[in-house]
Amino acid sequence: MTNKRIPPAAWKPGESGNPRGKPKGAINKTTRLALELFEGGIKNIAEVVIKQAKDGDLTAARLVLDKLVPNARERAVELPGLPSTESPAGVADAQAAILQAVAAGDLTPGEAATLSGIVENRRKAIETQELELRIQALEDRP
């Protein structure tokens, strides 16, 4: 067994070599330099990029749109007259109504896929209920 000597000035566990540390909110030198460079020219840079976008530069247009237009979120979808999904026939009718809404341009394919998934889950729930009732009926037979 080796006996390691710990120098008397060594830090103890949980101690820091710099107890005061970096103050909160301190900015890195590189970041500070970048901010100083952009501070005076950010308006000019933005104007140049917007002008390039207007002149047809697709990369500049994408940059402008990415920064100015928030990412699209899901929208509330309303399908008036969507058939009831209380029965397997109603589920089939609902799937047909969703397909017709996509064909008419009332729903995007992504929205239709989401709605179809919900209707499909409803169909599975109905199927499970019906199977449970059939099994129960078979078990109750004498």
Look at residue 26 in the predicted model and tell me its pLDDT.
82
Residues of the chain with pLDDT under 70: 1-3, 6-11, 14, 16-17, 40, 70-72
CA 126/CA 18 separation, integer angstroms: 66
Look at residue 98 in the predicted model and tell me its pLDDT.
94
Look at residue 1 in the predicted model and tell me its pLDDT.
55
In this structure, how many other beta carbons lie within 10 angstroms of the beta carbon of residue 91? 21
Look at residue 60 in the predicted model and tell me its pLDDT.
82
The answer to whether 107 and 77 are in contact (CB under 8 A) is: yes
